[in-house]
Amino acid sequence: MFRYIVRRLLQMVLTFFGATFVVFALMFANQDDPLQALAGERPITESQRQALTERYHLDEPFIAQYWHYMKGMLTGDFGQSLTGRQIGDMLEAAWPVTFRLALLAAVIAAVIAIVAGVASAIRRGGTFDNVTLVFTLILLSMPIVVIAPLAQLLFGIQLGWFPPTSGADPSMWALLLPALVLASSVFATQLRVTRTSVAENLRADYVRTAKAKGLAFRRVISVHVLRNSLIPVITLIGVDLGNLMAGAIVTEGVFNIPGVGFNLARGIRTEDGPLVVGFVSALVIIFLIVNLLVDLLYAALDPRIRYE
């Protein structure tokens, strides 16, 4: 187990450098004239252009810029965005709210998906199963750019159940609507996977044995079936948690939550290379850690799995 974790950590270092390198290269290739992008349609004077170019090393070749960036990052300095703010501070301000939003969404999605998935697997072909099938199909076919403003208009403005925007330091209540919107983007798949997995395990030999032993149906489902069925679902939830943190660009924009997605969107719009790479680096780390945790969870769920 220990050796396995060390090996995975070493792999993570390589992945981390590879991923940031690719992102940096893409930002660099996309970058035309970030100073003009920042100024919008206003002209930039020559001496201003000169001063800013030197401050942000914009005139140096790609490798040199990447080197400057990595050198800073390894000493804990994420550098400055093109508007002169410390990216370290921006990360610190953005992460908590995104983390809370993603976690809330993940919990909502997982609870609904697992409960509904088990219920529809037990009565396959029943009314509940068919209704959830249609409902998940509808959700799967609606992109979040449609769901988010729609939910805001309906529940935030017309019905007034939730505040229409959340802001920087929202209460649990204010976060609930964006979390539901986010959850809707992932829970349909989780539900389908749970249903299939549970349905399959219900026909397994060990379930028949358990039933023959005279165990209560509840216990058969909750202890024997669910434990074996959750392995693929846990994988999915782990990956989704990463996606939720990264993929909140639209949701955070609509509900005005200044989190990670919000900053990424701004960085991309203003060609702010250091800003984008800083946030993506942090995201890469989150993805890697979540995936490692998911893999370790397998062992807890399935005694047959051992890591050497």
Partner 1 sequence: MPGKSPWKMAVGATAIALLAAGCGSGGSDDSAATSNTVSIGIGEPQHLIPSNTTESNGAEVLASLFYPLVDFDAQNQPVEVAAESITPDKTNTTWTVKLKPGFTFHNGEPVVAQNYVDAWNYGAYGPNGQGGSYFFEKIDGFADLQSKDPDGEEGPQKAPEPKAKKMTGLTVVDESTFTIKLSAPFAGFKSVLGYTVFYPLPKAAFSGDGVIAEGFEDAIVGNGPFKMKGKWEHDAQIVVEKVADFKGQVPKIDGITWKIYQEDTAEYADLVAGNVDVQTQIPIESLAKASADLGDRFKKSPNSSFQFVGFPTFQKEFADVNVRKAISMAINRQEITDQVFLGSQTPATSFVSPVVAGYRPNTCGAACEYNPTEAKTMYEAAKGPAEIKITYNVDGGHKAWVDATCNQIKASLGVNCTGQGEPKFADLLTKVEKKEPVGLIRLGWLMDYPLMENYLGPLYSTTGGSNYYGYSNPAFDNLVAAGSAAATPEEAIKKWQEAEDILVKDLPVIPLRNGQNVFGYSEKVNNVEVDLFQKVNLYKIEVVG
- Pair of tokens at residue 233: 């679902």
- Does 130 bind partner 1 (CB under 8 A)? Our answer is no
Q: Report how far residue 250's alpha carbon sits from residue 246's, in angstroms, rounded to the nearest whole number.
A: 10
Q: At its nearest, how many Å lie between partner 1 and the CB of residue 110?
A: 8
Binding region for partner 1 (CB under 8 A) out of 8-16, 122-130, 152-160, 195-203:
152-160
Q: Which is nearer to partner 1, 114 or 199 (CB)?
A: 114
Q: What is the pattern of x (binds partner 1, CB under 8 A) and - over residues 255-284? A: xx-x---xx-xx--x-x-------------
Q: Which is nearer to partner 1, 87 or 188 (CB)?
A: 87
In the set 172, 205, 304, 308, which binds partner 1 (CB under 8 A)? 172
Q: Which is nearer to partner 1, 45 or 127 (CB)?
A: 45
- Pair of tokens at residue 43: 């002209």
> Of residues 203-232, which lie at the interface with partner 1 (CB under 8 A)?
222-223, 226-227, 230
- Does 36 bind partner 1 (CB under 8 A)? Our answer is yes
In the set 15, 100, 129, 196, which binds partner 1 (CB under 8 A)? 100
Q: Which is nearer to partner 1, 20 or 291 (CB)?
A: 291
Q: Which is nearer to partner 1, 36 or 189 (CB)?
A: 36
- Does 154 bind partner 1 (CB under 8 A)? Our answer is no
Q: Which is nearer to partner 1, 137 or 153 (CB)?
A: 153
In the set 168, 216, 289, 305, which binds partner 1 (CB under 8 A)? 168
- Does 153 bind partner 1 (CB under 8 A)? Our answer is yes
Q: Report how far residue 201's alpha carbon sits from residue 221's, in angstroms, rounded to the nearest whole number.
A: 10
- Does 104 bind partner 1 (CB under 8 A)? Our answer is yes
